[in-house]
Amino acid sequence: MSIHARRHNARRLLVERRLRALLHRSHPRDLREGCRYVLAAGGKRVRSVLVLLAAEAVGGSARAAADAGAAVELLHNFTLVHDDVMDHADTRRGRPTVHRRWDLNTALLVGDVLLGLGYDRLLRTRSPRIASILRVYTEGLLEVCEGQALDLEFERRDDVRPGEYFRMIEMKTARLIAMSAELGGLIGGGTAREVAALRTFGFRLGRAFQLQDDLLDVVAEEEAFGKVIGGDILEGKKTYLFLRALQEASARDRAALRRLVRKAPAGAPRNPRSRASRARVAAVTALYRRYGVMAAAERAVQRDTAAAVRALERLPDTPARATLRWLAASLLRRSS
Amino acid sequence: MSIHARRHNARRLLVERRLRALLHRSHPRDLREGCRYVLAAGGKRVRSVLVLLAAEAVGGSARAAADAGAAVELLHNFTLVHDDVMDHADTRRGRPTVHRRWDLNTALLVGDVLLGLGYDRLLRTRSPRIASILRVYTEGLLEVCEGQALDLEFERRDDVRPGEYFRMIEMKTARLIAMSAELGGLIGGGTAREVAALRTFGFRLGRAFQLQDDLLDVVAEEEAFGKVIGGDILEGKKTYLFLRALQEASARDRAALRRLVRKAPAGAPRNPRSRASRARVAAVTALYRRYGVMAAAERAVQRDTAAAVRALERLPDTPARATLRWLAASLLRRSS
Comparing A58-67, A117-126, B178-187, B230-239, the range with the smallest average pLDDT is B230-239
Residue numbers in B near A139 (CB within 8 A)? 120
In this predicted structure, the answer to whether residue A277 has a pLDDT above a threshold of 60 is yes
- Give me the residue from B113, B131, B145 closest to A116, CB to CB: B145
Would the CB atoms of A108 and B85 count as touching at under 8 Å?
A: yes
The reply to whether B231 falls in a domain is no
Backbone angles phi, psi at A175, to 5 degrees: -65, -30
Q: Is A213 contained in some domain?
A: yes
pLDDT tens sequence across A53-96: 999 999 999 999 999 999 999 999 999 999 999 989 999 988 99
A-chain residue closest to B119, CA distance:
A138
Which residues of A lie closer than 8 Å to B, measured between beta carbons? 25, 27-31, 82, 85-86, 104-105, 108-109, 111-113, 115-117, 119-120, 123, 130-131, 134-135, 138-139, 141-142, 145-146, 148-150, 152-153
**Residues B201-215 as b or e (16 or more Cβ within 10 Å = b):** bbbbbbbbbbbbbbb
pLDDT for res A237: 86
Q: Is residue B237 part of a domain?
A: no
Smallest Cα distance from A104 to chain B, Å: 8
Highest mean pLDDT among A266-275, A281-290, B309-318: B309-318
Query: Which uninterrupted H or E stretch holds B64?
Result: none
Global ipTM: 0.92
Query: Which of B32, B99, B109 best tests the A interface by mutation, with the highest count of A CBs <10 A?
Result: B109
- Report the alpha-carbon distance of residue B315 to residue B125 in Å, rounded: 23
Answer yes or no: is pLDDT of A226 > 70: no
Mean pLDDT of B283-289: 93
Does A143 map to a domain? yes
CATH number at residue A143: 1.10.600.10
* A334 pLDDT higher than 80: no
Yes or no, beta carbons of A109 and B148 under 8 Å apart: yes
Decide if A145 and B109 are in contact by the 8 Å CB cutoff. yes
> What pTM value is reported for the model?
0.93
Mean pLDDT of B65-79: 97
B304 contact partners, CB below 8 Å, separation of at least 6: B204, B205, B207, B208, B211
Burial tier of B74 (Cβ tally within 10 Å: 0-12, 13-18, 19+): buried
Nearest C-alpha in A relative to B141 = A116
Residue A252 within a domain: no
With 60 as the cut, is the pLDDT of residue A224 above it?
A: no
How many structural domains comprise chain B?
1
pLDDT, chain A, mean: 91
Q: What are phi and psi of A92, to 5 degrees?
A: -150, 125
Mean pLDDT, rounded, for B84-91: 92
Examine residue A177 and state whether it is found in any structural domain, yes or no: yes
- State the angle between helix axes of A3-21 and A46-57 in degrees (0 to 180), rounded to the nearest 10: 110
A26: closest chain B residue by CA: B146
- Whether B290 is in a domain gets the answer no
pLDDT score recorded for residue B224: 56
Residue A208: give the domain boundaries. 3-220+305-333
Mutate which of B76, B81, B103, B112 to test chain A, going by most A C-beta atoms within 10 A?
Answer: B112
In a domain, A107, yes or no: yes
* Nearest CB neighbour to A146, from listed B28, B85, B105: B28
